[in-house]
Amino acid sequence: MVHGMPNSTLEASPNAALNKTILPKYMDLPIPEGKIQAMYVWVDGTGENVRAKTRTLDFIPKDPSDLPIWNYDGSSCYQAEGGNSDMYLYPVAIFNDPFRRGNNKLVLCDTYKANGKPADVRGGHLELVDTNKRHSCLKAMEAAKDHEPWFGIEQEYTLLDMDLRPLGWPKNGFPGPQGPYYCGVGANKVYARDIVEAHYRACLYAGVNIAGSNAEVMPAQWEYQVGPCEGISIGDQLWMSRFILHRVAEEFGVVATLDPKPMPGDWNGAGAHTNFSTKAMRDENGIIEIEKAIDKLSRNHLRHIQAYDPKGGKDNERRLTGRHETSSIHDFSAGVANRGASIRIPRGCAEQKKGYLEDRRPSSNCDPYSVCEALVRTCILNE
Ligand code: ADP
Ligand code: MN
Ligand code: MN
Ligand code: MN
């Protein structure tokens, strides 16, 4: 047994079993002058998973518009039928590649059909659903630009072994009840901090505006925060941070899941609390604006629940039970420092009479473009 890694993980994961001392020999090879690798990353038809593929470039891109549009097989990503499967990747944001380093890049893309329309899905069922959520989010952000909307998202996630059991949990039983694990330290409190540390550094290197990280209430559950970011960049940054998380965990032979309730029963679920402010909320006496926004949110609860997980509310049904620091999916509520409410006003903001609000409803696997679009349309554009 490798120190600190349960046997079952090593045996089940070919990635963890590979000899990790061999790769650096190749990564250190000098490569032809002027050539770089660009890994294009995009969201697939599940609205939840990311895909990626690499191409060689003979220049260093500075702006997404420098980069070529590229094609991919939409039918293998639940976004097209086999007979008409060519789809297009439009580069929207460039990050430094923490895996290949040097001048190599990660390129976030949004997805389009051959007719130039944003991607949709026909997977499993006949109903068409937009799967390029960025396209309409960007329109809302442009319309709301003068209000300078800021977002900070708290991304919770759970580490699983290859059997999809939370990492470090006994195979035939459960860890002790929740209590000691949140922000915990020690070998019997937290599992796989290596992954958390590697992810944090990789995000900083990449240029993701990561704000912090902490161990969560359920053992093997963690959180990091991205933000504050203005406008559309919150979605771009959060999606790239998720790609980096899955990619780092892959190297360790561990699965990172964004499922909002990985373990039923008396275990906390996982959310993506979304902290939101406008310029007026951040200014003196902004609390009045925060209260106005909460009033609008109270009258649009259903619309927000539908936008806050990839299954239109079905995923959050398992999580928003009114227990385990959540509100009930059926009711809207708001309160200062209240972690059982839909919307929480942080105590510091109530005291300073300005700042931001926290929407606690978005599920960990939400699409941040959908969540932030809904907030902007309800609170700023009054739609
Ligand atoms: P919690 O107390 O709910 O665990 P965190 O510290 O995890 O809160 O996250 C708070 C988030 O709020 C951070 O990601 C931060 O970037 C974000 N944030 C701070 N100020 C603002 C603001 N004015 N507007 C939007 N987001 C903000
Ligand atoms: Mn937090
Ligand atoms: Mn949390
Ligand atoms: Mn929070």
d(CA 65, CA 353): 42
71-75, 198-202, 204-208, 347-351: range with lowest mean pLDDT: 71-75
Residues 6+ apart with CB under 8 A from 93: 64, 107, 108, 233, 236, 237, 240
Specify the DSSP element, H or E, that contains 92: strand 86-96
The number of the ligand 1 atom at minimal distance from the alpha carbon of 276 is: 25
The answer on pLDDT for 8 being more than 60 is no
In the chain, which residue ranges form alpha helices assigned H by DSSP? 7-12, 14-17, 23-27, 133-143, 193-206, 233-252, 279-282, 287-298, 301-307, 314-319, 347-352, 368-379
The number of the ligand 1 atom at minimal distance from the alpha carbon of 226 is: 14
Nearest ligand, CA 211: 1
d(CA 277, CA 382): 15
The more confidently predicted of residues 128 and 255 is 255
State the distance from the centre of ligand 4 to the C-alpha of 225, rounded, in angstroms. Answer: 9
State the distance from the centre of ligand 3 to the C-alpha of 148, rounded, in angstroms. Answer: 26
d(CA 152, CA 350): 18
The number of the ligand 1 atom at minimal distance from the alpha carbon of 282 is: 23
Angle at alpha carbon of residue 8, lines to 5 and 10, rounded to 5°:
55
Angle at alpha carbon of residue 17, lines to 14 and 21, rounded to 5°:
125
Check if 175 has its Cβ closer than 6 Å to any atom of ligand 1: no
Check if 150 has its Cβ closer than 6 Å to any atom of ligand 1: yes
pLDDT value of residue 5: 52
Q: Give the confidence band of 6 by pLDDT, cuts at 50, 70, 90.
A: low
Task: Locate the domains of the chain by residue range.
Answer: 32-131, 144-379
User: Which residue has the least CA distance to atom 12 on ligand 1?
Assistant: 152
State the distance from the centre of ligand 2 to the C-alpha of 302, rounded, in angstroms. Answer: 24
- Pick from 275, 347, 375 the residue to mutate for probing ligand 1's pocket: most ligand atoms within 8 Å of its CB: 275
Its pTM stands at 0.96
Which tokens in the block code for residue 20? 């990790």
Check if 193 has its Cβ closer than 6 Å to any atom of ligand 1: no
Nearest ligand, CA 271: 3
d(CA 35, CA 250): 26
Q: Give the confidence band of 245 by pLDDT, cuts at 50, 70, 90.
A: very high
Check if 358 has its Cβ closer than 6 Å to any atom of ligand 1: yes
Amino acid at 364: S
State the distance from the centre of ligand 1 to the C-alpha of 228, rounded, in angstroms. Answer: 7
d(CA 194, CA 167): 13
d(CA 371, CA 274): 8
CA 368 to chain centre: 7
Q: What letter would DSSP give residue 167?
A: T
Torsion sign across C-alpha atoms 46, 47, 49, 54: positive
Closest CA to 165 of 220, 243, 123: 220
What does the mean pLDDT of the chain come to? 94
The number of the ligand 1 atom at minimal distance from the alpha carbon of 277 is: 24
Cα-based torsion angle of the residue sequence 242, 244, 247, 248 in order, rounded to the nearest 10 degrees: -110
Neighbours of 66 (CB within 10 A): 12
pLDDT tens digit sequence for 272-302 = 999 999 999 999 999 999 999 999 999 999 9
Most confident of 16-25, 109-118, 124-133, 198-207: 198-207
Q: Are residues 360 and 271 in contact, defined by beta-carbon separation less than 8 angstroms?
A: yes
User: Which residue has the least CA distance to atom 17 on ligand 1?
Assistant: 152
pLDDT tens digit sequence for 68-110 = 999 999 888 888 877 778 899 999 999 999 999 999 999 999 9
Q: What homologous superfamily is domain 144-379 in, according to CATH? A: Glutamine synthetase/guanido kinase, catalytic domain (3.30.590.10)
Residue tagged 């001048």 (tokens):
103
The answer on pLDDT for 312 being more than 90 is yes
Nearest ligand, CA 210: 1
State the distance from the centre of ligand 2 to the C-alpha of 325, rounded, in angstroms. Answer: 12
Amino acid at 282: R
d(CA 299, CA 308): 16
CA distances (Å), origin 185, targets 20, 45, 197: 27, 38, 14
3-state secondary structure 209-232: CEEEEEECCCCCEEEEEEEEEECC
pLDDT value of residue 2: 46
The structural architecture, per CATH, of the domain 32-131 is Roll (3.10)
Torsion sign across C-alpha atoms 367, 372, 373, 379: positive
The number of the ligand 1 atom at minimal distance from the alpha carbon of 153 is: 14
State the distance from the centre of ligand 3 to the C-alpha of 376, rounded, in angstroms. Answer: 23
The answer on pLDDT for 1 being more than 50 is no
Q: How many CA atoms lie within 13 A of 326 on its CB side?
A: 27
pLDDT tens digit sequence for 322-335 = 999 999 999 999 99
Q: What letter would DSSP give residue 182?
A: T
d(CA 252, CA 70): 30
CA distances (Å), origin 197, targets 237, 309, 365: 18, 27, 21
Q: Give the confidence band of 125 by pLDDT, cuts at 50, 70, 90.
A: low
